[in-house]
């Protein structure tokens, strides 16, 4: 006889009734993106700060530029002046130290469209400036634009074309030179950070880069470029050796009248 009681066994729930937990992949992806962005915002500045510190002068690392691949360095005496009609038989082209004109070239973010007399620009280097030169026959407008961005509005930085330059780009600071082919080369910024107004590497710390005016060096009408004379032309009257000036130290004397002029 059949019992009216139901069996004690329970029927197992069907598969469709099982409430399965789904992994929220959208939320996971969003969290991953947020974490990655946060790491970027935090990590990149720290990385940049570390890289900048490598090229920042300090008592422990007075000349960071010496670690830049391709850098050329040389010791020069300071305060060796020549007059406006005199020239210097430099041993490097462009020059980056040695005797120079008593008046410096204006060098606070100045871009000279035409080549300028080297003797004035070397004096700017003595004040801690960076002089960026380029071969106008080898550098296109895009490269020039990149170089200009590093000069415009920047103190103690100056730029001019340099005829006959044996590389597309050359950077100069007092006692240092770096020749390059690419305006996007990271070594340009390393050179500038290491050497601009580096108190350990140039003679006249704190000296001005401001324009002197027409009575000194006329920024709007600068003395024109002239090729470096050969060593055989040194006579200590109109051409001087690299390490000896006509008027060492002191303020520049007025130009004398040159016979025949």
Query: Which of 31-45, 137-151, 188-202 has the weakest average pLDDT?
Result: 31-45
Tell me if 242 sits within 8 A of 98, measured CB to CB.
yes
Provide the pLDDT for residue 26. 77
Q: In this structure, is the dihedral angle defined by the CA atoms of residues 206, 159, 93 and 213, taken in order, positive or negative?
A: negative
**69-91 pLDDT tens trace:** 999 999 999 999 999 999 999 99
| Two structure tokens written together for 246 | 């006509």
Q: For residue 137, give the nearest of 159, 109, 169, 105 by alpha carbon.
A: 169
Query: Which of 12-16, 62-66, 151-155, 217-221 has the weakest average pLDDT?
Result: 12-16
Distance separating alpha carbons of residues 98 and 84, to the nearest angstrom: 16
Q: Could you tell me the pLDDT band of residue 113, with boundaries at 50, 70 and 90? A: very high
Q: Residue 15 above 70 pLDDT? A: no
**166-183 pLDDT tens trace:** 999 999 999 999 999 999
Provide the pLDDT for residue 36. 61
Q: Could you tell me the pLDDT band of residue 24, with boundaries at 50, 70 and 90? A: confident
What's the CA dihedral at 134, 136, 141, 144 to 10 degrees? 20
Tell me if 157 sits within 8 A of 149, measured CB to CB.
no
């Amino acid at each position: 006889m059949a019992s009216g009681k139901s069996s004690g066994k329970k029927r197992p729930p069907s598969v469709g009734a099982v409430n399965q937990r789904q992994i929220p992949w959208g939320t996971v992806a969003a969290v991953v993106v947020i974490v990655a962005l946060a790491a970027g915002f935090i990590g990149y500045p720290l990385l940049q700060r570390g890289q900048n510190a490598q090229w920042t002068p300090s008592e422990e690392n007075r000349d960071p530029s010496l670690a830049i691949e391709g850098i050329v360095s040389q010791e020069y005496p300071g305060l060796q002046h020549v007059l406006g009609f005199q020239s210097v038989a430099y041993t490097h082209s462009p020059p980056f130290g040695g005797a120079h004109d008593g008046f410096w070239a204006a060098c606070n973010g100045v871009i000279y469209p035409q080549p300028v007399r080297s003797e004035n620009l070397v004096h700017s280097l003595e004040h801690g400036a960076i002089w960026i030169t380029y071969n106008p026959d080898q550098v296109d407008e895009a490269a020039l634009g990149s170089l200009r961005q590093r000069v415009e509005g920047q103190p103690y930085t100056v730029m001019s074309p340099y005829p006959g330059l044996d590389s597309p780009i050359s950077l100069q600071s007092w006692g240092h030179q770096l020749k390059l082919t690419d305006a996007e080369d990271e070594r340009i910024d390393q050179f500038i950070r290491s050497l601009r107004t580096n108190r350990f590497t140039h003679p006249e710390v704190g000296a001005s880069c401001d324009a002197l005016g027409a009575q000194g060096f006329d920024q709007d009408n600068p003395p024109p470029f002239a090729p470096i004379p050969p060593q055989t032309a040194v006579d200590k009257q109109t051409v001087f050796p690299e390490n000896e000036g006509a008027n060492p130290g002191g303020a520049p004397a007025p130009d004398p009248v040159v016979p025949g002029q």
